[in-house]
């Protein structure tokens, strides 16, 4: 078995919750977006010890790629409410990043399903089993790991998953993970495809909650990487006949159409309500104040942004007794939500993924994802547009915050040169 030199260090991208650093970052970021990740702020590249096995049922992974998520950017740009209750399950400082794929480098003696050299997609969640807690909580017993009752307990620091738990994150060359977090990448699947495991699974889970009918017309609001993956999944996996979308950038809109969307809207506000209603042939009503609205409209909405604006528009264009699933995370603001009760709408949040049921089979979302890739039902490599070394993190973040110029969809940190 290959051994790790535990006396050596590795570079890792660290986020520190220190008031002076946060204030400096906030002031500089308001002047220029790149100010959020300049030196002296909460984000920095540091040398930390290469992780060792936590226990004999743990694994050390050498990172190949690690995707940058929209939630990473929200953390970097301090775009969150201070009273967000999820702070309960985050510890600082932490290594950022929760979307890694890698190669098994070292395994504990109790790991029987993996071997050194296996390529692995890593589920980021740290539920009971990873925390050494027995018996498992009732949520984990049901396979609902994202709602584990023990994110503050057990042998690990406080934290929900990789990237928000002190000592564990994907923006580093090595990662310690529990064996249950590891999913072997089939030979037919490339690393470039596999690195989309997390965002695809997020999209897949939200569609399962929506429970679409094949002949329905569904609206995907927001077509960043998760929105585009949602369009792909709706068309190629769920075979929904009519998918429309709301986009912001022309390159995203072209990709959505390429993936099978029937139409992409680029308007905002009341003009967007009018365009969607006209497309659906729905009658519009005009109140004395506020946006127009319809009683009929699209059969379902998947909102990947979940801002006050997108939620309000969504419930105005959604058909009576329709369902809206939102999986975005935006700072809460007031919006007029009377159509929610009047039209008897279902508005359901969608959080990540766990054990899912699909096509008469129950399995982890990552298993479905890798199976879809192996069977060539989808190809996620088309979304990977940019690769950067970890040392180029400032360029990577700049690329993601200048999409109109960079045309970035999925940006990853590339560790392959260091994985041999």
> In this predicted model, what pLDDT tens digit does every residue of 169-184 receive, in sequence order?
999 999 999 999 999 9
Q: Which residues pair with 387 in a beta bridge?
A: 412
Query: What percent of the chain has pLDDT above 90?
Result: 93
Please name which of 284, 7, 44 lies closest in space to residue 171, comparing C-alpha atoms: 44
Domain stop point among 304, 334, 349: 349
Q: In which band, very low, low, confident or very high, does the pLDDT at 8 lie, cut at 50, 70 and 90? A: confident
> Containing domain of residue 282, as a range?
199-349
Task: Give the model's pLDDT for residue 24.
Answer: 93
Residue 80 has pLDDT above 90, yes or no: no
Task: Give the model's pLDDT for residue 2.
Answer: 38
Q: Are 207 and 250 in the same domain?
A: yes
Q: Considering the chain, what is the average pLDDT of its residues?
A: 95
Domain-located, residue 357? no
Q: Which position has the higher pLDDT, 8 or 224?
A: 224
Residue 83 has pLDDT above 50, yes or no: yes
Residue 134: is the preceding peptide bond cis (ω within 30°)?
no
Q: Which residues pair with 245 in a beta bridge?
A: 220, 264
Domain-located, residue 296? yes
Residue 317 has pLDDT above 60, yes or no: yes
Q: Are 387 and 320 in the same domain?
A: no
CA distance linking residue 43 with residue 93, whole number of Å: 10
Domain stop point among 349, 367, 390: 349
What CATH number did the domain enclosing 329 receive? 3.40.50.720
Q: Are 180 and 215 in the same domain?
A: no
Q: Are 343 and 276 in the same domain?
A: yes
State pLDDT tens for residues 238-265.
Answer: 999 999 999 999 999 999 999 999 999 9
Number of domains the chain contains: 2
Domain-located, residue 194? no
Residue 195 has pLDDT above 50, yes or no: yes
Residue 348 has pLDDT above 90, yes or no: yes
State pLDDT tens for residues 354-394.
Answer: 999 999 999 999 999 999 999 999 999 999 999 999 999 99
State pLDDT tens for residues 117-163.
Answer: 999 999 999 999 999 999 999 999 999 999 999 999 999 999 999 99
Q: Are 167 and 220 in the same domain?
A: no
Domain-located, residue 280? yes
Q: In which band, very low, low, confident or very high, does the pLDDT at 418 lie, cut at 50, 70 and 90? A: low
Q: Are 55 and 171 in the same domain?
A: yes
Residue 5 has pLDDT above 70, yes or no: no
> What mean pLDDT comes out for the span 70-99?
91
- What is the DSSP track for 170-238? SSBSEEEEEGGGEEEPPTTS-HHHHTTHHHHHHHHHHHHHH---TT-EEEEE--SHHHHHHHHHHHHTS
Task: Give the model's pLDDT for residue 419.
Answer: 46
Domain-located, residue 147? no
Burial (CB count <10 Å: 0-12, 13-18, 19+), residue 334 = exposed
Q: Are 236 and 167 in the same domain?
A: no
Domain-located, residue 214? yes
Task: Give the model's pLDDT for residue 259.
Answer: 98
Residue 3 has pLDDT above 50, yes or no: no
Q: In which band, very low, low, confident or very high, does the pLDDT at 397 lie, cut at 50, 70 and 90? A: very high
Q: Are 249 and 342 in the same domain?
A: yes
Check if the beta carbon of residue 44 is closer than 8 Å to that of residue 394: no
Domain-located, residue 407? yes
Note the Cα 333 to chain centre separation in Å: 22
CA of 245: how far to CAs of 156, 239, 255, 262, 383, in Å?
Answer: 41, 16, 11, 8, 17
Residue 420 has pLDDT above 60, yes or no: no
What CATH number did the domain enclosing 410 receive? 3.90.180.10
Domain stop point among 305, 331, 349: 349
| Least trusted range by pLDDT, from 27-31, 77-81, 261-265, 402-406 | 77-81
| 38 contact partners, CB below 8 Å, separation of at least 6 | 25, 28, 394
């Amino acid at each position: 078995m290959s051994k790790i030199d535990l006396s050596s260090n590795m570079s890792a991208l660290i986020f520190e919750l220190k008031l002076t650093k946060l204030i400096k970052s906030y002031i500089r970021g308001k002047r220029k977006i790149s100010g959020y990740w300049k030196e002296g702020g909460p984000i920095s590249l540091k040398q930390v010890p290469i992780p060792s096995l936590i226990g004999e049922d743990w694994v050390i992974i050498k990172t190949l790629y690690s995707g940058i998520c929209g939630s990473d950017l929200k953390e970097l740009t301090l775009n969150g409410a201070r009273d967000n209750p999820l702070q309960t399950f985050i510890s600082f400082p932490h290594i950022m990043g929760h979307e890694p794929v890698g190669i098994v480098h070292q395994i504990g003696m109790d790991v029987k399903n993996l071997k050194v050299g296996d390529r692995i997609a890593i589920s980021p969640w740290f539920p009971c089993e990873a925390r050494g807690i027995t018996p498992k909580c009732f949520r984990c017993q049901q396979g609902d790991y994202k709602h584990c009752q023990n994110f503050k307990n057990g042998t690990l620091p406080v934290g929900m998953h990789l990237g928000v738990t002190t000592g564990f994150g994907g923006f580093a060359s090595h990662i310690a993970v529990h064996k249950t977090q590891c999913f072997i990448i089939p030979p037919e699947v490339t690393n470039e495809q596999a690195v989309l495991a997390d965002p695809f699974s997020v999209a897949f889970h939200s569609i399962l909650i929506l429970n679409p009918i094949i002949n329905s017309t569904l609206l995907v609001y927001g077509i960043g990487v998760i929105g585009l993956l949602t369009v792909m999944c709706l068309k190629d996996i769920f075979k929904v006949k009519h998918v429309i979308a709301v986009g912001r950038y022309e390159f995203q809109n072209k990709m959505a159409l390429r993936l099978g969307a029937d139409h992409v809207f680029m308007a905002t506000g009341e003009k967007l309500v009018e365009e969607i209603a006209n497309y659906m042939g729905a009658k519009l009503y005009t109140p004395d104040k506020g946006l127009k609205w319809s009683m009929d409209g699209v059969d379902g909405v998947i909102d990947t942004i979940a801002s006050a604006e997108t939620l309000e528009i969504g419930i105005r264009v959604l058909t009576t007794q329709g369902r809206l699933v939102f999986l975005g995370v935006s700072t809460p603001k007031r919006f007029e939500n009377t159509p929610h009760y009047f039209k008897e709408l279902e508005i359901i949040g969608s959080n990540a993924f766990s054990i899912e049921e699909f096509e008469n089979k129950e399995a982890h979302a990552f298993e479905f994802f890798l199976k879809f890739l192996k069977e060539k039902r989808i190809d996620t490599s088309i979304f990977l547009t940019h690769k950067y070394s970890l040392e180029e993190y400032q360029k990577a973040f700049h690329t993601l915050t200048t999409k109109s110029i960079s045309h970035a969809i999925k940006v990853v940190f590339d560790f392959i040169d260091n994985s041999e």
